[in-house]
Structure 1
Amino acid sequence: SHQRPWSVPVTRLKGSGEMEVVLTKPRFHLDLWIAFTVQNWLLDVGRPVVMLLLPVEWFPLSRPCAAEYLHILYNITTPLILLKLLERSPRTLPSLVVHLGIIAVVMGTSLHMVVDTITLRLLQVGYQLHLSIRENPLMTNLKPSSLTFPLSCPSRYVPLFLVLFLFFSGCFYHKKQEKMMPPAAWMLLLPNAAYYWYLVTEGQTFILFIFTFFAMTATVMHQRRRGLVPNSNGLFMLYSFSAALFLVAIWVICLWNDSILRRKHPGLIYVPQPRAVYTLHLRTNTQT
């Protein structure tokens, strides 16, 4: 069978009839996690920040803006980093699953760029993020009214969370080899968790995020019955998701009584978007 330089020969797990690859010395993938965190903050979170700092007059509507160039780079780096993560998975994944997962990520990031480009153009001509689509003066004057469409598309994040879960499902080893996370992992925990908070709030992916978190928790419980525990990479992902969920809860509690944002998110799940909070409160105060 195919073996990797960081794995031992295939071993039959106790109480299981299947063959799996088990790490003798689980290694935290510091290089990939640093690259993943840095590119997420610079190329994803940095897009709206760049548009807020740079004058609108620098970027005519007929030409790409700085945020779109950052998005192009994000569409290139994200699939590559996720591909390297899957290649380093302790469990050998079928090549078809890996290829389909990365193709889905590419398609999802491309769809994200299209929606984000439309949103940026609308913001440049007066769209207000803290209002719902039908309450925006720009959209109410649109004829015919059936042309109005949602500017948020959480389904584009499905491939990203799916690939992360596929990697997590292979991050288990024998309980007798159990070790704690290295100090470098703890240093990356907060910025990585803060990025997941951004995906949940700005991307409106709470349902997708919570289902992924529940699936990770169920996987941990299932593997523990087989005598396996998460390695340092698995613990890093599990703790990052847990911290992100805590940050989302604090965010929602702080904005719970905001009547204007409540009108934009009238459903059972109320998770305000950071840019909507900025345009509603912070930008008005700054201009004043």
Structure 2
Amino acid sequence: MFLFCSRPVGSAEMDSVLTSKPRFHLDLWLCFTLQTWILDVGHSVATLVLSADWVPLNRPGTAEYLHILSNISTSLFLLRMLERSPRKLPPIAVHLGIISIVTGTSLHLVADSVTQRLLLIGYQLHLSVRENPVMKSVRPSSLVDTFELLLHFDDTLGHLLWYVPLFLVLFLFFSGSFCRRKQEEKMPPAGWMLLAPNAAYYWFLITEGQTFILFIFTLFAMTATVMHQRRRGLVLDSNGLFMLYSFSAALFLVAVWVACLWRDGVLRKKHPGLIYVPQPRAVFTLHLRNHTSSSPSSSI
């Protein structure tokens, strides 16, 4: 869906969309919030906090099963969102997009599973692969290249195949969430209730997934779309307001997160370059896990 432009909506079809009364898709956003927090965020939390003794290390654990369900539910949700969007895409583009997401999430699943096992033997997420004490003792040393390849599949290829289609679908849905000025609606109470968890999930997506560039370009495109549609006498409906407020709140959360960790030299070494957005799991292994493991109760 991403090598092709969206199919323009016909004038008659667009007029029917604009003249119909806008409604807030509570079922869509509620399902999105539940599946992202229970499955997507849930598998990352399970990786760090659940005991590894529950299942053999050579078998999938709770985190892996949550990850598998997340991969399936994400694709289903995006298909449902495309069905609700006034702007339609060619079927071949939809198929390519879903295949891309499934491939990216599958690569991420495998890499996360290996990383979870490495954490049990002392791997530190706040360090690069070669700087980890565990990797310095690996023999032959050429095996470190294999782990770097695994990390590349996860953090680069997997994330691109997963997050690029995700943000494009979100933007496509947003671009169709407009109505005429006389139909302008405020966001309903249900939208305000879902705003905080939705924004917090976008914060997780940006920080843990390292998708700040994709996120900020999507936000800029959303803002430009709003300015363009205002010249045509159109304003955001309740769904568009919900998305714009969620993205704006997520940007604020990321700014606070970066400001709190701005002077952390270890994390800055982990995330070099102009864009510095520390990963929550790296912060956990650097500050929380080490502190917990050194407490008296951890040795009982």
State the TM-score, normalizing by the size of structure 2.
0.85
1:190 equivalent in alignment to 2:186: no
Shift of 1:107: 2.4
- Picking from 95, 106, 111, the partner of 1:110 is 106
Match of 2:276 in 1: 270
Report if the CA contact (8 A) 1:21-1:91 is conserved.
Answer: no
1:162 equivalent in alignment to 2:168: yes
1:152 equivalent in alignment to 2:155: yes
CA distance in 2, matches of 1:184, 1:107: 34
Query: Aligned runs of 1:215-226 on 2, under 5 Å?
Result: 215-226=221-232
Shift of 1:12: 8.4
Match of 1:61 in 2: 57
Report if the CA contact (8 A) 1:30-1:184 is conserved.
Answer: yes
Q: Residues 108, 271 of structure 1: CA spacing in aligned structure 2 closer, same or farther, 3 A cutoff?
A: same
1:234 equivalent in alignment to 2:240: yes
Shift of 1:121: 2.5
Query: Aligned runs of 1:248-267 on 2, under 5 Å?
Result: 248-267=254-273
Shift of 1:114: 2.3
The gaps in structure 2 that reach 5 residues or longer are 1-9, 296-300
Task: Give a deviation string over 1:179-210, Cα, whole Å, max 9, x none.
Answer: 11111001000100000000111111111111
Query: Aligned runs of 1:80-159 on 2, under 5 Å?
Result: 80-142=76-138, 143-144=141-142, 145-147=144-146, 148-149=148-149, 150=151, 151-153=154-156, 154-155=159-160, 156-159=162-165
Q: Residues 124, 23 of structure 1: CA spacing in aligned structure 2 closer, same or farther, 3 A cutoff?
A: farther
Match of 2:208 in 1: 202
- CA RMSD of superposed structures (Å): 2.0
Shift of 1:88: 1.0
Q: Residues 253, 222 of structure 1: CA spacing in aligned structure 2 closer, same or farther, 3 A cutoff?
A: same
Q: Residues 274, 12 of structure 1: CA spacing in aligned structure 2 closer, same or farther, 3 A cutoff?
A: closer
CA distance in 1, matches of 2:68, 2:27: 22
Q: How many residues align?
A: 275
CA distance in 2, matches of 1:189, 1:12: 30
Report if the CA contact (8 A) 2:87-2:172 is conserved.
Answer: no
Report if the CA contact (8 A) 1:101-1:163 is conserved.
Answer: no
Shift of 1:20: 7.5
The gaps in structure 1 that reach 5 residues or longer are 1-8, 14-18
| SS of alignment partner, residue 226 of structure 2 | helix
- Picking from 280, 292, 296, the partner of 1:286 is 292
Task: Give a deviation string over 1:109-141, Cα, whole Å, max 9, x none.
Answer: 222222222322322332111112221122334
CA distance in 1, matches of 2:271, 2:174: 32
State the TM-score, normalizing by the size of structure 1.
0.88
Match of 1:174 in 2: 180
| SS of alignment partner, residue 133 of structure 1 | coil
Task: Give a deviation string over 1:8-44, Cα, whole Å, max 9, x none.
Answer: x95487xxxxx77425111111011111111101101
Task: Give a deviation string over 1:128-187, Cα, whole Å, max 9, x none.
Answer: 111122211223344215332335233131111111111111111212211111110010
The structure with the greater share of residues assigned to helix is: 2
Match of 2:5 in 1: none
| SS of alignment partner, residue 222 of structure 1 | helix
Instruction: Report the more deviating stretch, 136-145 or 235-244.
Output: 136-145
CA distance in 1, matches of 2:70, 2:181: 37
CA distance in 2, matches of 1:45, 1:23: 38
Q: Residues 12, 85 of structure 1: CA spacing in aligned structure 2 closer, same or farther, 3 A cutoff?
A: closer
| SS of alignment partner, residue 25 of structure 1 | coil
Q: Residues 282, 23 of structure 1: CA spacing in aligned structure 2 closer, same or farther, 3 A cutoff?
A: farther
CA distance in 1, matches of 2:280, 2:180: 42
